Amino acid sequence: MDIFFGQLFTGLSIASILLLVALGLAIIYGAMGVINLAHGEFVMLGAYGTWFLQSQFGLPLIPCLLLVFFMVAAAGWVVESTVVRFLYHRPLDTILATWGIGIMLQQAVRLSAGAELRYVQTPEFLSGSIDIAGVGIPSYRLFILALTAALLALTWFVIQRTEFGMKLRAVTQNREMASCYGINSARIYSLTFAFGSGLAGLAGALVAPIKSVAPDMGTNFVVDAFMVVVVGGVGSLIGTVVSSGLLGSGTAGIAFLLNDTLAKALVFLAVVVLVRFRPQGLFVDQRRR
């Protein structure tokens, strides 16, 4: 029983980090159809931002989160308005251009902050562990879980219940028509990209204490996040949630039986097969042509 709970929690924990990282990507890809390969670098920026604020100004983690969100969102806004904006009609080229942006961000960080690993401290009150059903669970992991849920709720609220979200949904469905009704679609896209980037930055800030912070940390995140979004289906928040749950628990389960590396390989293989048979993802209906 203990092992089961332990595994369940490991799965949940992996899933929550997956979801955290994938959330921003899901919004950008779902709403704009942009495959943003610089997403991992936004996560990395968030981690470095936290490290910087903490080591230079001694800020504790919690206030860092808010600052980092806006910092990385600003970076995303700049990227959208200088590069991505020109490529909306060329989805394959956005893959390339955003990869270029990723390289630039990586190098910029390497030049300014150095290539060595950096460490971010877990806040004092979250460094212990809590006993649930006889299993010791690190409080910080629980904190991530809770915050992921909160961010998910926030995202849902922004998209479903605000005027911005309504305009975003309109633009997603038919950009030309939305523009005809006086929606400034360019501005909506900029804001969406900034919001998605900000979420990535937050993810980076949150994972910084449990992963090593390095300039090339983003590459792994972006591949994982992509698999989550693709499995869940474009433009489906619920799909993203369920698919991070599936991939997270799948990885944890196989890792328990075999090992981490094979677990990842097998999960990716499953994703390949799934994309072949349901390219639209698990939770999106195939519409009539």
Q: Does 268 bind another protein (CB under 8 A)?
A: yes
Site membership for another protein, residue 194 (CB under 8 A)? no
Least CB distance to another protein at residue 227 (A):
6
- 53 scored as a contact of another protein (CB under 8 A): no
Which one of the spans 101-109, 136-144, 202-210, 245-253 is the region binding another protein (CB under 8 A)? 101-109
DSSP three-state, residue 233? coil
Which residue number, 146 or 272, has a Cβ lying nearer to another protein?
272
Count of residues that bind another protein according to CB under 8 A: 47
> What is the full DSSP assignment across 37-79?
TTHHHHHHHHHHHHHHHHHHH---HHHHHHHHHHHHHHHHHHH
Sign of the alpha-carbon torsion through 194, 196, 202, 203: negative
Q: Considering the rule CB under 8 A, would residue 117 count as an interface residue with another protein?
A: no
Q: Tell me: does residue 181 bind another protein (CB under 8 A).
A: no
By the rule CB under 8 A, 100 interacts with another protein: yes
Quote the least distance from Cβ 287 to another protein, whole Å.
9
Do the beta carbons of residue 227 and residue 138 sit within 8 Å? no
Q: What are phi and psi of 181, to 5 degrees?
A: -85, 15
In the bound state with another protein, the residue whose beta carbon lies nearer, of 146 and 262, is: 262
| 51 touches another protein (CB under 8 A) | no
Residue number, 42 or 69, with CB nearest to another protein: 42
Question: What's the Cα-to-Cα distance from 91 to each of 37, 95, 98, 172, rounded to whole Å?
Answer: 12, 7, 11, 15
Length of the chain in residues, anyone? 289
**260-274: burial string, b at 16+ Cβ within 10 Å, e else:** eeebbeebeebbeeb
- Which residue, 63 or 100, has its beta carbon nearer to another protein? 100
Q: Give the span between the Cα atoms of 281 and 100, in whole angstroms.
A: 27
Footprint of another protein (CB under 8 A): 33, 35, 37, 83, 86-87, 89-93, 95-97, 99-104, 106-108, 110-111, 216, 219, 223, 226-227, 230, 259, 261-262, 264-265, 268-269, 271-272, 275-277, 279-280, 288-289
